[in-house]
Amino acid sequence: MNELHLFIGLDSGPTHIAGALDVPLIGLYHCLTPSRVIKPLGRTDVHVVDHPVAQGCSPETPMSDISVDTVWRKVLEALRTP
């Protein structure tokens, strides 16, 4: 993982490992566990994508509600960050 220029992942074990290793990352967070609660702290190279559902969230709310375009914009933002 230390060889990566950017890691993209859900709130999962590999994402937490990337966060612990200071690998630049994009974290995708479900509406039940928003980034404001669980993202790595004190890191300027963590770019978050929160699930767009604000109300009516349940465990069955699909992560596919996050669009590829939304993630791609974060990729471009992350790659511009020194």
DSSP letters spanning 52-75: S--SS--TTS-GGGS-HHHHHHHH
Interval 54-68: pLDDT, tens: 789 999 999 999 999
- What pLDDT is attached to residue 82? 60
> Who contacts 49 (Cβ-Cβ below 8 Å, separation ≥6)?
26, 27, 28, 29, 66, 70, 71, 74
- What pLDDT is attached to residue 19? 83
Interval 2-54: pLDDT, tens: 888 899 999 888 988 888 888 889 999 999 999 888 887 777 788 999 999 97
Q: What are phi and psi of 74, to 5 degrees?
A: -70, -35
- pTM, entire model: 0.86
H/E element, 50: strand 46-50
How many helices (H) does the chain have, and how many strands (E)? Answer: 3, 3
- What pLDDT is attached to residue 81? 67
